[in-house]
Amino acid sequence: MAERSVPRTSLKLYFHPFASFCQKVLIALYENATPFEPHIVDLADETSSAEFKKIWPIGKFPVLRDDAKEQTVPESSIIIEYLAQHFPGKVQLVPADPELARQTRLRDRFYDLYVSTPVGKIVTDRLRPAGKSDQHGVEEAKALLRIAYDMIEQEMGAKTWAMGGAFSMADCAASPALYYANKVMPFDHAHRNVAGYFGRLMERPSFARVIKEAQPYLALFPQ
């Protein structure tokens, strides 16, 4: 009797479907249909968290493990660089041209540091115990997010994707960053280009799949 073929892979991804930096890497994997073994980490569960910290003591996900090359690869951008280098596919997530690659990395950093990070500050403040919130820090994060929206508005006037016509690592970073940003500070009439770009990201099959898979966990989002 013929056996059902299971894609063989040396890659394991430690992640949570709801976490934005993990979603960034899932998009990269789905874009190129790169096979991987999913390992969902529940940081709220002592055993799951302790197991994960044996792999990466910093305790932040995503982390990719490549058993064949004996490599443990943390950090979402570094994981995408690793995939682009060792598991290239039809979507070139980091351009071969060094100048275009530098510009891609800049935009990737922009979305991580100036969109995802302030959104994280605003959201995690809602989880602090009563009387322990950091109102000043939250106001600073909101101000930074407003500046980022204005910059994206300028940047995305005539572009389809962050780097122009080709989908890249920068769009992997932008997708979950803008998804959660829109929840904490919805795009308004002054940010039509941001909203338009976000709409295109939401229609991208890789990101649509990521959002669908995150649905069961969306109740975790603190209102």
Ligand X SMILES: N[C@@H](CCC(=O)N[C@@H](CS)C(=O)NCC(=O)O)C(=O)O
Contact footprint for ligand X (CB under 6 A): 19-21, 43, 59-62, 75-77, 112
Closest to ligand X by CB, 169 or 193 = 169
Q: What residue has token string 């602090």?
A: 128
Closest to ligand X by CB, 59 or 157 = 59
Closest to ligand X by CB, 27 or 153 = 27
* Neighbouring-strand partners of residue 185: none
Give least dist CB 23 to ligand X, A: 8
40 CB burial (10 A radius; 0-12, 13-18, 19+): middle
Neighbours of 139 (CB within 10 A): 11
Closest to ligand X by CB, 83 or 193 = 83
Is the preceding peptide bond at 62 cis, omega within 30 degrees of 0? yes
Quote the CA–CA distance of 83 and 86 in Å, as a whole number: 5
Helix (H) or strand (E) run with residue 66 in it: strand 63-66
Give least dist CB 6 to ligand X, A: 28
Give least dist CB 186 to ligand X, A: 21
Give least dist CB 129 to ligand X, A: 16
